[in-house]
Amino acid sequence: MDISIIIFLLGGLFLGWSLGANDAANVFGTAVGTRMVRFKTAAIVCSIFVILGAIISGSGTTETLGKLGAINALPGAFAACVAAGVSVYLMTKAGLPVSTTQAIVGAIVGWNLYTGSDTNIRVLITILGTWVLCPVIAGVIAMGFFTITKNYLLRRKLHILRLDAYTRTALLLAGAFGAYSLGANNIANVMGVFVPISPFTDVSISNFFVFSSKEQLFLLGGLAIAVGVFTYSKKVMFTVGNDLLKMSPVAAFIVVISHSIVLFLFASQGISNFLQSINLPSIPLVPVSSSQAVVGAVIGIGLLKGGKEVQWSVAGKITIGWFTLPVIAALISMILLFILSNIFNLTVSF
């Protein structure tokens, strides 16, 4: 493989690494931060399920991003990934709970604008709509789960120690589901732009199983996320567990499961097909923000508790992020594309 291809892929792998470092904390942060689950256990489960989710269910969201703008040259994809990574870094530094999803969408639109390609406005509106829907749905699901769980626990009268043991198991299972959903939903952000120009070829194993080039890309992206989980997420997990989300382990479980369901809903081809088959509007398969799903779930629980603990400033920051992050990512993407094509004489589109 050409060395330049590896360098260009590094852009996506960097994005994967940062996704693993940051978003794994949304799945296992509270469990690890409150010491309900050991970091090593969380990291292993998270890595395995992120990779499985990416390979098995990652196609749907990738297709949607592809419809928004099919980047057709590796340097272009590299610029989009780096632009997304840099803009997420800048916004995180500014204290805004943003996501790679919004960044990559902005970066793709930036590529479209720079290369004069059409932006599919319908797809763009669908994507923007899901950003608003994601925290709202997460909040509603969390409110439902919270009410059911609270009533169930009050009726069951479980001993505090028994409840602790069940919660640990539940956190681990919900974390595994969350990691699977994260891989399925967010792999598009990491590797989506490389799919149309994948440098890999399909590998057939004894004519029985075909490991497609797309799946190979997703495996690579999944591994990058896993490396991010192992190398950098511990610190973020403890921050999430101890500082941001001060809540009971049971409430933490509800947040994780609500977040996981939302990410799964927006990534599951099966659910989307099922809804269509019974003449209901299908769910768009769009990469959504894991952090914003968590914030939505936390706000949902906060509202049920009377709303006093709800930090509306965080909700405000999310809204700011919806507008500013894609714009910044698009601008950085265009600047990088300009540098790559005019200074390095690289082809950023065909």
Partner 1 sequence: MFGLNKSSLFSDTKKLEREIDGFVDILSEVGLVFKSIVPTYLNHSANGKFEEMVEKVKEMESKADKITKEVEHTLYEETLIPDARSDVLRLLEHMDELIGMYQGNCYHFSIQKPNFPKEFHQDLIELTETVVNCVEALCLTVRSFFRDIKTVRDNAHKVTFYEKESDIKFSSLARRIFDSEMPLDQKMHLRYFVEKIDRICDQAEDIADEVQIYAIKRSV
Exactly one of 74, 251, 332, 348 binds partner 1 (CB under 8 A); that residue is 251
**168 touching partner 1, by CB under 8 A:** yes
- Residue of 56, 125, 165, 320 that binds partner 1 (CB under 8 A): 165
Please report whether residue 153 would count as binding partner 1 according to CB under 8 A.
yes
Residue 109 CA to its chain's centroid (Å): 19
> Cβ of residue 145: shortest distance to partner 1, in angstroms?
11
Verify binding: residue 235, partner 1, rule CB under 8 A: no
20, 110, 228, 249: which one contacts partner 1 (CB under 8 A)? 249
For the chain, strand residue ranges (E) read 203-205, 209-211
Residue among 42 and 217 whose Cβ is closer to partner 1: 42
Stretch in the footprint of partner 1 (CB under 8 A) among 64-72, 150-158, 199-207, 281-289: 150-158
Angle at 283 between CA 279 and CA 286, to 5 degrees: 155
How many of the chain's residues bind partner 1 (CB under 8 A)?
Answer: 29
272 binds partner 1 (CB under 8 A): no
According to the binding rule CB under 8 A, does residue 157 interact with partner 1? Answer: yes
Binding marks (x or -) toward partner 1, 277..296, rule CB under 8 A?
A: --------------------
- CB neighbours of 23 closer than 8 A, spacing ≥ 6? 99, 100, 182, 186, 290, 291
Contact 98, 89 (CB under 8 A): no
Distances (CA, A) of 288 to 35, 64, 157, 219, 238: 28, 12, 37, 20, 24
- What is the b/e burial string over 183-200, where b = at least 16 CB atoms within 10 angstroms of the residue's CB? bbbbbbbbbbbbbebbbb
**CB nearer partner 1, residue 168 or residue 317:** 168
CA distance 150 to 41: 27
* Exposure b/e, 279-301, CB count within 10 A at least 16 = b: eeeebbbbbbbbbbbbbbbbbbb
Of residues 85 and 175, the one with the C-beta less far from partner 1:
175
- What mask, x for binding partner 1 by CB under 8 A, covers residues 108 to 147? --------------------------------------x-
- Is 233 a binding residue for partner 1 by CB under 8 A? The answer is no
**Taking Cα atoms as reference points, which of 12, 14, 41, 15 lies closest to residue 237?**
41
Least distance CB 169 / partner 1 (angstroms): 7
Q: Which is nearer to partner 1, 150 or 317 (CB)?
A: 150
Residue 148: how many CA atoms within 13 Å on its side-chain side? 8
- Write down the least CB distance from residue 264 to partner 1, Å: 22
Least Å distance between CB 174 and partner 1?
14
Distance (Å) of CA 48 to CA 51, 118, 257: 5, 38, 18
Residue of 250, 303, 314, 315 that binds partner 1 (CB under 8 A) = 250
Compare residues 63 and 164 and give the one whose CB is closer to partner 1: 164
125-160 burial, b if ≥16 CB within 10 A, otherwise e? Answer: ebbbebbebbbebbbbbbbebbeebeeeeeeeeeee
Binding residue (CB under 8 A) for partner 1 from 158, 173, 303, 335: 158
Minimum CB distance to partner 1, residue 162 (Å): 6
The answer to the question of residue 28 lying near partner 1 (CB under 8 A) is no
Among 24, 45, 55, 240, binds partner 1 (CB under 8 A): 45
Question: What is the contact surface with partner 1 in residues (CB under 8 A)?
Answer: 34-38, 40-41, 44-45, 146, 149-150, 153-154, 157-162, 164-165, 168-169, 172, 248-251
